[in-house]
Amino acid sequence: MHGRPRNASKPEEEAASAAKAVQLRSLQSQFMTNHHDKIYTNEAIELSTKLLEINPEAYTAWNYRKLAVEDRLARIEPDPNLVSAILDEELRVVESALRQNFKSYGAWHHRKWVLSKGHSSVGNELRLLEKFQKLDSRNFHAWNYRRFVVELTNRSEQDELHVLLSSLLAQNADGFMPNIKIPEEYDFVHSAIFTEPDDQSGWFYHLWLLDQTLNVETPLLTSSWPSHGSSIILSGAGCLSGSSSMFTTFCSESGSFPLILYFDQAVGGVSSSTVTIDSELKGNEGLVWEPIPNKNSQVSCVWVARLKYVSSDPCEYKVKIRVGNSPGIVSSRGYNFNAPYEFVFTAHVHDTVEDSQEGIVSWTDGFDIWDAKSKDLNSLVTLDRLNAEMDFKWRQEAIDSEVECFGILPDSKIGKLTLARLLMAREAMVSDDAVKGVHYEEILQLYNDLMALDSSHYQYYKDEHSKAFLHKVTSSSESLSRHLLRYRDMNNLVCLRLNNLSLSRIASVEKLLFVQMLDLSHNELHSTEGLEAMQLLSCLNLSHNRIRSFSALDSLRHVKQLKVLDVSHNHIGKHSVDTTRYLCSSPLSNSELGQDDVGKQNPGLVTKYWDAYCVLRDLNLKQLDIAGNEIAGEEFSSFVLQVVPKLVWLDGQKKLGN
C-alpha cells in the first residue's frame, strides 16, 4: 500500500514478534495498575516509557504521561532548569516513539502538548520535521505538525510557502527529469490507446501529458505595450492635425497612458521594485501596478501601470523598462520569473491643436487600407514570445513524434481532437517564420469535421475553432495586416476588423495590445472575456452577436479608454432567465449605492437594470448603440443617459444639449 512493499514474515521475525507481545502484556498490566492508583514515581514513569517504545499507539500511556508531568511540575520549585529537564525528557520519549512509527497520532499530539507549554526551540522542531519528511514526504502528520510549529513563529505565510516550494522543487529537480520521463510516458500510454481506442482513461492521460509538455514552469513575459523599439505620440484630449500613420497616437484627458505587461501565466509580485522604469517623464516614481482584471486577487496574466505625462510640455522621451531584474515576480504555482527582460520605446509628447471631436464614429467610412508591405506593424507589436531563448528542443521533439503517431490513427472523434491539439501545440513552439502557420488549415478542418461528427459537443468545437482561427490571424505580420486599417478621422487609430467570421470566442489578445479600434460585428460571441487586456481600445463594435446581457460585457469595465461601444442587434433582454446576470454582484448590495445620484433618484430602475448599471457606470462612453435588443426602449434609453452622463450619441441620435 502507498508504494510500501509487504513481505512475508520470516520464522525468526515471528518468534521475535511473539516475545514482544508477551513483554507488552506484562508491561500493560503493571502500567494500568499505576495509572488507576495515580502513581507518578520515577519507576512508574520509566515503565510507561518502555511501553511506548514498544507500542507508540498506546493512547492511555500518553495521557498518563501528561498527568505525570502536571503532577511533577506542581510539586517542584519554579526552577526553569528543572522544568526544562522534565519537558526535555518528554520530547526525547516522543522522538523515540516516532522512530518506531513516524505516523503515530498519539506521539505527534503529545509533542504538540509539550510545545504548548512554551518549551523547545522552533528551529529544533523544524530540523526534526525535515528528517521525518525526507523519510516520507506524504506524511500528513508531519505536515500538520509543521503548520502548528510555524504558527508559533513570526514567519509569514509567504515566507513559509517560499521555504516549502524551494525544498520541494529541489527534490523535484533531483528525482524527476521531464525531458526523459514524459517521452517515456507517451510510449507507455500509446499501448493503452491503440489497444483499446474506446477506453477514455488513456486519452485523458495523454491530454494531461500534452499539458505537461507545453507548460513551462517558470513564467515568461509574452508581450508588452509599448513594444520594444516602438514610438508613440501622446497628447491631451482631442485630435492632432497631421498625425503620422507610422506611430500610435494616444490621447488622454487624465494625462497618462497605460504600460501593459502580458505574462504566459498568472503571476504576482509585479511592483515598482520588480519592474523599474528609466525615463525623464516626471511624476512616475513609485509607480503602482494593478492586475487586470482585479477580482480581489493579486495574481494575473495582465498587469498595468499608468505613466503620467504633461501634454503642454512637448518633447521626446526615451523610456526604458526592466522587468524582473530584482526577484519577486512569482507565478501562482510558486515559480520565480527568472528571465529578466528589457525594452525601450520613444514617447513623443505633443500639445493638442484641435478641439475634441464630438462627431459620430462610423464603422463603414473613413478607413484607409493598411499597406501589407509596410514595416509599420513591426513598431506596434511583438508577435513572438519575448523570452524565446528558453529551451524547447525536447518539447518540440516530443510533439513532433506524437503528431507523426496520431496522423496514421483511423478516423475517430477523440483521435481528430487529439491531433488538432497536437498541431496547435506544434504551432505554439514554431519560431521559424518560414514554417509558421502551415498547420492551421488542417487544424480548422479537423474542428469542422468534429462539429459535423459530434453535435452534442458542437459549441466546444466551435470555440476551439475560433481560437485556432485567431491564432492563425496573429501568427505573422502578413496575416495580421490583412485585417488592419487606419481610421483617419480619429488620429489614424489602428483598427482591426474581425467581422463576419463566425467567431464564438476571443483569443490571442496578447498579440493585439496595440489595437485601438476593434470590429467584431456579425459573429457569434457570447461575451467579451479577454478584451480587458486591450487597454488602448477606444472603439468596439459588437453588433449582431449573441450577447444576452450586460453582465457578459463585464470585462469592458477595466478598459478605461473605451469611448465608443456598439452592442446593437444582440439578445440583451430577450431571455427572462439569464445566468450570466449573476457575474455582476447586485449594486443594491454595494454600500456606495447610497451616494449615487441615479440610485437615489431611480432605485426602481437600478433594480430592474442592475447588470447594465453595474457595467455602464464604470465606463466613460461618448457613443453607445443598443438598438435591436429586447431591452431597448424609451425607458432604458432614459436610464442610460442618467448612468452615463458624458454620453453624446445614443443609437445614432445626438443627446440634447450637445
pLDDT in tens, 315-353: 888 889 999 888 889 888 788 888 888 999 888 887 765
pLDDT of residue 545 exceeding 90: yes
In a domain, 366, yes or no: no
CA dist 73 and 258 (Å) reads 66
Domain count, the chain: 4
513 and 552 together in one domain: yes
Distance CA 400, CA 406 (A): 10
Domain boundary among 154, 175, 196: 175
Q: How far apart are the first and last CA of the chain?
A: 78
Q: Are residues 398 and 458 in the same domain?
A: yes
Angle at 455 between CA 450 and CA 456, to 5 degrees: 115
Closest of 294, 244, 240, 231 to residue 268, by C-alpha:
294
Last residue of a domain, one of 420, 438, 472: 472
Sign of CA dihedral 551, 552, 555, 557: negative
| Same-domain pairing of 240 and 311 | yes
CATH code: domain of residue 273: 2.60.40.1220
Q: Find the range with the poorest average confidence among 292-296, 341-345, 495-499.
A: 292-296
pLDDT tops 70 at residue 101 = yes
Q: Using CA atoms, how far apart are residues 371 and 383, in angstroms rounded to an integer?
A: 18
Tell me if 35 sits within 8 A of 65, measured CB to CB: no
**Same domain? 241 vs 336:** yes
- Residue 164: pLDDT above 80? no
Task: Look up residue 340 and give its three cell numbers.
Answer: 529578466
Tell me if 48 is assigned to some domain: yes
Residue 482's H or E segment, with its range, is none
Any residues with CB less than 8 A from the CB of 170 and at least 6 apart, and which? none
CATH number at residue 644: 3.80.10.10
The reply to whether 231 and 210 lie within a common domain is no
Contact of 248 with 264, CB cutoff 8 Å:
no
- Is 38 in the same domain as 118? yes
* CA–CA separation, 130 and 118 (whole Å): 21
Residue 335 lies in a domain: yes
pLDDT in tens, 604-640: 888 888 889 989 998 999 999 999 999 999 999 999 9
pLDDT band at 376 (very low <50, low <70, confident <90, very high): low
Helix orientation angle between 105-115 and 140-151, rounded to the nearest 10 degrees: 10
Domain boundary among 296, 331, 356: 356
> Tens digits of per-residue pLDDT, 404-418?
888 777 678 888 999
- Per DSSP, the three-state class of 574 is coil
| CA diameter of the chain | 102
Helix, strand, or coil (residue 72): helix
Residue 390 pLDDT greater than 60, yes or no: no
Residue 373 lies in a domain: no
> Does 332 or 290 have the greater pLDDT score?
290
Q: 15 and 144 share a domain?
A: yes
| pLDDT(486) > 60 | yes
The one-character DSSP state at 239 is B
CA 597 to chain centre: 37
In-domain check, residue 38: yes
Residue 479 forms part of a structural domain? no
Domain shared by 144 and 277, yes or no: no
Output the CA torsion sign for 298, 304, 301, 217: negative
**Least reliable range by pLDDT among 87-96, 154-163, 179-188, 418-427:** 154-163
Query: So what's the pLDDT on residue 385?
Result: 46
Residue located via cell numbers 524582473:
324
Percent of the chain residues topping a pLDDT of 90: 30
Do 226 and 183 sit in the same domain of this protein?
Answer: no
Task: Tell me: do 194 and 240 sit in the same domain.
Answer: no
Q: Do 510 and 609 reside in the same domain of the chain? A: yes
Q: Where is average pLDDT lowest: 89-93, 374-378, 497-501, 535-539?
A: 374-378
- Report the C-alpha gap between 211 and 307 in whole angstroms: 37
Q: How far is it, in rounded angstroms, from Cα 90 to Cα 87?
A: 5
pLDDT in the model for residue 541: 97
DSSP assignment of 309-320 equals --TTS-EEEEEE
Please report whether residue 127 resides in a domain: yes
Question: Is a pLDDT exceeding 60 seen at residue 237?
Answer: yes
Element (H, E) at 158: helix 157-175
Q: Is residue 2 part of a domain?
A: no
Q: Which domain holds residue 113?
A: 11-175
CA 426 to chain centre: 23
Same domain, 333 and 412: no
Please tell me the distance from the alpha carbon of residue 384 to that of residue 391, in angstroms, as a whole number: 15
CA atoms of 518 and 626, how far apart (whole Å): 17
Query: pLDDT confidence of 575, banded at 50, 70, 90?
Result: low
**CATH number of the domain enclosing 101:** 1.25.40.120
| Structure letter (DSSP) for residue 656 | T
pLDDT at residue 231, rounded to an integer: 85
